[in-house]
């Protein structure tokens, strides 16, 4: 073979090798997202998904992770534990690097054994049940458990407003969260001189009749009604309460504090209180930029699910960027200990449990307003 032709073949071979290596370098890093994006709690899952998607898109616009693009594989758990187990197994078998989600505690309890067996790091934006605290496993989260923030709601109403008689309604469909939240609220409320005069439960669904529940609550003459449920049910309960009592104070757990609550509740939710993880009065450039980007991308406000989804995704993305050699992703996340969120530092302990600030907010003129 003439020297010139051999030279051309050599160049062609080198070009193919370079193209192959270049293709390998650009192979996407795959991350899974699991959340309930259909049904009654879709606002929570959609917000979390949107926040995670925005974080991934921004990271890719900056060159991805060490030159590789990030691909978000999205799955709807339908707020159903069997569906959650199914999609989690699918994602573990597809070799994703990590999972973001889920958004509710009942689903998390179903997923945790699967991700632990697969040793797949899972970072939840919004799961806060105490049942998942203090475990050396692969389930991490960017918000604290209910024992650290439900008491703030109880003490605010006792000490700031002097309310002493609380009536409670809670959803058993997400019992891991609701019973955990109520335990924290009850302990602080009763230890500080308040009393729970009545407690009623329901299981969320399309055909729930809230009027009899509300009539039973108000029969006990409470000065505070506590709702521990999703935004749709909380809004409907507020409407029923206001038909019968215009003055009783209503407070809702943060699960119900999405923008959907205000949209559905209308005038009936004016003056309703929350303990939230998002500071709606934040005027820092970091938050304002995030808010503008989210609105531009999705045409709506993020609320706490969008903010938490964005923060959780960035914890994963930052750790994947920082991981060295054969270090595990879990060790990388936990050893760093602190990550910059949109509004706060996300501080993780050795179990991957977070510390955070909680804000008391109230609905005023159709929007959430931070009080303290």
What confidence tens digit (pLDDT) does each residue in 243-302 have?
A: 999 999 999 999 999 999 999 999 999 999 998 889 999 999 999 999 999 999 999 999
- Residue 368 covered by a domain: no
Among 259, 276, 293, residue at a domain's last position: 276
Instruction: Examine the domain organization and report whether 296 and 269 are in the same domain.
Output: no
pLDDT at 345 over 70: yes
Predicted pLDDT of residue 2: 52
Instruction: Examine the domain organization and report whether 253 and 308 are in the same domain.
Output: no
Predicted pLDDT of residue 357: 82
Predicted pLDDT of residue 25: 54
pLDDT at 116 over 70: yes
Instruction: Examine the domain organization and report whether 105 and 90 are in the same domain.
Output: yes
Predicted pLDDT of residue 41: 85
- Residue 371 covered by a domain: no
Q: Look up the CATH number of the domain holding residue 91.
A: 3.40.50.2300
pLDDT at 361 over 70: yes
Q: Over the chain, what is the mean pLDDT?
A: 92
- Residue 363 covered by a domain: no
- Residue 268 covered by a domain: yes
- Residue 2 covered by a domain: no
The total domain count for the chain is: 2
pTM: 0.90
pLDDT at 356 over 90: no
Q: How large is the average pLDDT for residues 33-51?
A: 95
Predicted pLDDT of residue 225: 98
Q: In the 3-class helix/strand/coil scheme, how is the chain assigned residue by residue?
A: CCHHHHHHHHHHHHHHHHHHHHHHHCCCEEEEEEECCCCCCHHHHHHHHHHHHHHHHHHHHCCCECCECEEEEEEECCCCHHHHHHHHHHHHHCCCCEEECCCCHHHHHHHHHHHHHHCCCEEECCCCCHHHCCCCCCEEECCCCHHHCHHHHHHHHHHHCCCCEEEEEEEHHHHHHHHHHHHHHHHHHHHCCCEEEEEEEECCCCCCCHHHHHHHHHCCCCCEEEEECCHHHHHHHHHHHHHHCCCCEEEECHHHCCHHHHHHHHHHHCCCEEEECCCCCCCCHHHHHHHHHHHHHHCCCCHHHHHHHHHHHHHHHHHHHHCCCCCCHHHHHHHHCEEECCCCEEEECCCCCEECCCEEEEEECCEEEECC
Q: 64 is in which domain, residue-wise?
A: 29-144+283-355
């Amino acid at each position: 073979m003439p020297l010139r032709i051999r030279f051309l073949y050599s160049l062609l071979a080198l070009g193919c090798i370079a193209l192959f290596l270049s293709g390998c370098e650009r192979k996407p890093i795959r991350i899974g997202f699991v959340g309930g994006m259909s049904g009654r709690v879709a606002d929570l899952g959609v917000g979390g998904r949107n926040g995670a998607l925005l974080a991934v898109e921004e990271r890719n616009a900056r060159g991805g992770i060490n030159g590789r693009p990030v691909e978000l594989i999205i799955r709807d758990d339908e707020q159903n534990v069997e569906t959650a187990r199914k999609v989690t197994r699918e994602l573990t078998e597809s070799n994703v690097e990590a999972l973001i989600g889920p958004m509710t505690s009942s689903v998390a309890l179903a997923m945790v054994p699967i991700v632990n067996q697969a040793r797949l790091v899972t970072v939840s934006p919004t799961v806060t049940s105490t049942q998942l605290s203090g475990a050396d496993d692969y389930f991490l989260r960017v918000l604290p458990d209910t024992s650290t923030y439900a008491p703030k709601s109880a003490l605010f109403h006792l000490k700031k407003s002097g309310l002493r008689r609380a009536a409670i309604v809670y959803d058993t469909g997400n019992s891991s969260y609701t019973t955990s939240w109520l335990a924290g609220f009850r302990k602080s409320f009763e230890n500080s001189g308040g009393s729970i005069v009545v407690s009623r439960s329901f299981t969320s669904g399309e055909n729930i009749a809230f009027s009899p529940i509300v009539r039973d609550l108000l029969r006990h003459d409470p000065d505070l009604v506590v709702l521990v449920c999703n935004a749709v049910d909380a809004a409907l309960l507020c409407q029923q309460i206001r038909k019968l009592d215009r003055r009783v104070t209503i407070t809702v757990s943060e699960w119900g504090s999405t923008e959907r609550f205000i949209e559905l509740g209308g005038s009936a939710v004016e003056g309703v209180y929350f303990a939230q993880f998002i500071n709606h009065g934040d005027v820092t450039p970091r938050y304002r930029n995030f808010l503008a980007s989210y609105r531009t991308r999705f045409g709506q406000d993020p609320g706490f699910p969008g903010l938490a989804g964005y923060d959780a995704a960035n914890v994963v993305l930052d750790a994947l960027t920082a991981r060295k050699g054969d270090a595990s992703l879990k060790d990388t996340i936990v050893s760093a200990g602190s990550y910059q969120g949109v509004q706060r530092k996300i501080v993780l302990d050795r179990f991957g449990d977070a510390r955070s600030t909680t804000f008391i907010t109230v609905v005023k003129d159709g929007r959430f307003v931070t009080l303290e």
